[in-house]
């Protein structure tokens, strides 16, 4: 049994955009409640490298659901949650390396971003949304291949 592309992409969009939106809301609420925003004139809650990381997460989760056979809900979450975290970590490390930081600084930035992801509830939200969205995955059975009729071409 397989998952169709449309269902896999919708699932990936729910998990990725839902958890990212929750992180953005929590970060904005924290900044406003602690008045951190007053000292940061150029504070940007959306960094341009986030679009690349979001696209990579969407692609990774879509491919994971499309290429893997259908699983129980807990196995979907147990596989996709760490995949989401690994893509987030890898994306931040690569974007930090592209920004010409050293390898040590890039790895530190990746793990720092994961800690921020826990504080802003991005990672817990990804696991929860993955579990909730996994019940909406459509499962399809591929059509069996028909045996070829060898005698139809021979005219016999």
Give the 3-state secondary structure of residue 48.
coil
Averaged pLDDT of the chain: 84
The model's pLDDT over 68-124, given as tens digits with 9 standing for 90+, comes to 877 788 888 899 999 999 999 999 999 889 888 788 999 999 999 999 999 999 999
For residues 154 and 71, what is the distance between their CA atoms, to the nearest angstrom?
45
CA 60 to chain centre: 6
How many other CB atoms are found less than 10 A from the CB of residue 71?
Answer: 18
Quick one: residue 121, left, alpha or beta (phi over 0 = left, psi -120 to 50 = alpha)?
Answer: left
Return the minimum-mean-pLDDT range out of 53-57, 98-102, 131-135.
98-102
Return the minimum-mean-pLDDT range out of 4-8, 67-71, 128-132, 149-153.
149-153
């Amino acid at each position: 049994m397989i998952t169709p592309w449309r269902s896999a992409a919708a699932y990936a969009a729910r998990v990725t955009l839902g958890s990212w939106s929750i992180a953005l809301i929590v970060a904005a609420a924290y900044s406003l409640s602690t008045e951190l925003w007053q000292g940061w004139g150029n504070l940007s809650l959306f960094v341009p490298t986030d679009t690349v990381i979001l696209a990579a997460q969407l692609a990774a989760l879509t491919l994971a659901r499309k290429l893997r056979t259908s699983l129980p809900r807990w196995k979907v979450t147990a596989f996709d949650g760490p995949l989401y975290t690994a893509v987030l970590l890898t994306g931040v490390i690569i974007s930090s390396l592209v920004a010409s930081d050293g390898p040590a600084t890039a790895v530190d930035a990746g793990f720092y971003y994961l800690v921020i992801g826990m504080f802003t509830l991005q990672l817990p939200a990804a696991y929860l949304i993955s579990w909730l969205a996994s019940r909406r995955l459509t499962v399809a059975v591929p059509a069996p291949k028909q045996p070829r009729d060898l005698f139809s071409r021979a005219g016999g």
